[in-house]
Chain A
Amino acid sequence: MNGAPTDDEIALVRLLAARSGFSLSDGDVHEVAVRFISLLAELDPLMKIDLSGVEPVTVFRDTDEPRDAA
């Protein structure tokens, strides 16, 4: 999908925003929908790789850091 969002996608974005408690203006909804479906498309390849044995990490431990330093 390379074009503009469909009416259904815009309606979905409106619904998600409303359920999440965000105010979404008519002026913003189209661009939010474009960004949202683009992000889902960009993440699609990640849905296809095997991540089953991988733990999510936010901060990587410095394994070489001296443990006894002040």
Chain B
Amino acid sequence: VTVVQSDLAFASAFDIAAAIRARQVSPVEIVRTYLERIRRLNPQLNACITVLEDEALAAARDAERALVHGEPQGQLFGVPIAVKDQFWSRGTRTTNGSRALQDFVPDEDATVVARLKAAGAILIAKLNMSELALGGTRRPPWGTPHNPWDHTRTPGESSSGCGVAVAAHLCAASLGEDTGGSGRWPAAYCGIVGLRPTYGLVSRYGTMPACWFLDAPAPMTKTARDAAVVLGAIAGHDPKDLLTSRRRVPDYVGGLSESLAGIRVGVIAELDESDALDPEVRRTVDAATAVLHALGATVRRVNVPLILAAGGMLAATCDIESAAANDRLFRTQLDDLDGATRTRLLAAALLPVAHYGRGLRARVVLRQQLLEALGNVDVLVSATSPYPPPLHDAHTATFTSTADVRARFFMQRAYLSGYSLAALPALSVPCGFTNSGLPVGMQIAGRPFSEGALLSVAHAYESATSWHTRRAPAID
């Protein structure tokens, strides 16, 4: 691998790691490159809540000393990574995107942060996000994150800063979190890769909870191969999270293939035929599916009858859990919370308990339907979002009618949340652009612990296309 110096910031995390190992670039050089970009571009983009300039440079100097002494290097050795401000970072404030938590400083790292560091990564920034990892935040305390492809539009939520930072090349890779779609959604809107792992593959310890039985740390990266590297670094059993799997973590990078021969792809008919799906998004995802076919996959339509009810199921379960998880804030600092957060969680908190139970039961049936569909195909494919990134004002406007809530809240989540509810892995990969230059994402999902297969399909798709290499305007 040869990384051209002028293109250093735009290189993948995988290539940067390789260049450092080959002594083509030094860790200090790459950290300084990204810090300079953050200083120059973050004031326009609001991707970061806290920039760890001194800490990152000190870690980079330590890395250089380790290189000189020939010490063992992890897969992400010297690679600058930024994480959503939902993950504990020892000695650094962790706000969960809320003014109410602006003074919280954890005394230990989240397991995922500790594992990234153990793999050699250098933590360069804590990233902006929707308040409490929900969505629709109207007045983010650390500024409104802007979509690098069009600053007047939302980058998607709730891992908004991750989408922005990776798309604007403010870091080599990032770690977001995906409860009901919060990693895949901004990935699609920002033209990057976002992977929601199987629930239990990655530890939640030190992740500030949105919904304890749905939360999943989510690699958000420039390429599918980078997602494989980051997932390999953070996955695996953690004694601090008893719900993590004891399965052996596979070599995700080594398992990548550029051929899809023998792969069976299922297009979810209910999502593809929904009136909510923007025609331009449909055409783009259809074209991407045709590329999968050209690479050797067989493509067929499958049915998942309950998938369009996923948004309601998510609100009836996740939102109630989130209201419960934040009950103390609710009762003592309600006015410190954003209007969108307050009204969303209050509505959920008033829901009769019978609906919560029904949501949990319906979720089991939805999982059965998805697994049944996956009995006949290897992966499921759809648009990640039914429409391209909307304007900020349209996205965060106060809800005034049930039709408005259905269109802007439930249908968006119908595309994303089914896999969260079913505890299945899913990723979003860039698959094209609208006529006005906005990114479109293709969602690829599979059976439990089939991350290797999903990453391989995405990697094969990237090998045959160039969407993931496009640069957002005005970020050079």
Contacts and interface: CB of A to CB of B under 8 A. Distances in A.
Interface of A: 1-4, 13, 16-17, 20-24, 27-28, 30-32, 34-43, 45-47, 49, 51, 54-60, 62, 64-66, 69-70
B106 interface: no
B358 A65 contact: no
Given A32-B347, A46-B313, A59-B213, A38 B448 contact: no
A38 B410 CA distance: 9
A1 to B, nearest CB: 6
6 contacts: A2-B403, A23-B334, A34-B405, A35-B346, A51-B362, A65-B247
A43 B312 contact: yes
A46 B405 contact: no
A58 B347 contact: no
Contact of A35 (B200, B363, B399, B448): B399
Nearest to B422: A60
A13 B430 CA distance: 42
A62 B316 CA distance: 24
B358 A47 contact: yes
B152 interface: no
A24 B349 CA distance: 12
Contacts of B339: 27-28, 31
A70 B22 CA distance: 36
B331 A21 contact: yes
A22 B349 contact: yes
Contacts of B313: 46
A30 B405 CA distance: 13
Most B CB contacts (10 A, CB to CB) among A30, A37, A38 go to: A38
Contact of B199 (A37, A60, A64): A60
B471 interface: no
The 8 closest A-B pairs by CB, nearest first: A42-B312, A56-B360, A35-B347, A38-B405, A2-B403, A58-B213, A51-B361, A69-B246
Nearest to A22: B346
A9 to B, nearest CB: 10
B365 interface: yes
Given A46-B312, A60-B423, A41 B402 contact: yes
B399 A31 contact: yes
Interface residues of B, number: 55
Nearest to A50: B365
Contacts of B422: 60
B368 to A, nearest CB: 9
A51 to B, nearest CB: 4
A65 B309 CA distance: 30
A59 B405 contact: no
Contacts of B406: 38, 41-42
B274 interface: no
Contacts of A20: 349-350
Given A43-B312, A59-B199, A62-B245, A35 B355 contact: no
A46 to B, nearest CB: 5
Interface string B396-407: 001111111110
B359 interface: yes
A58 B214 CA distance: 9
Interface in B424-463: 448-449
A34 B245 contact: no
Contact of A4 (B248, B315, B357, B401): B401
B395 to A, nearest CB: 15
Contacts of B311: 42
B362 A46 contact: yes
B4 interface: no
Nearest to B212: A58
Interface in B286-322: 306, 309, 311-313, 315-316
Contact of B405 (A23, A35, A47): A35
Contacts of B237: 69
A4 B364 CA distance: 33
A42 B399 CA distance: 15
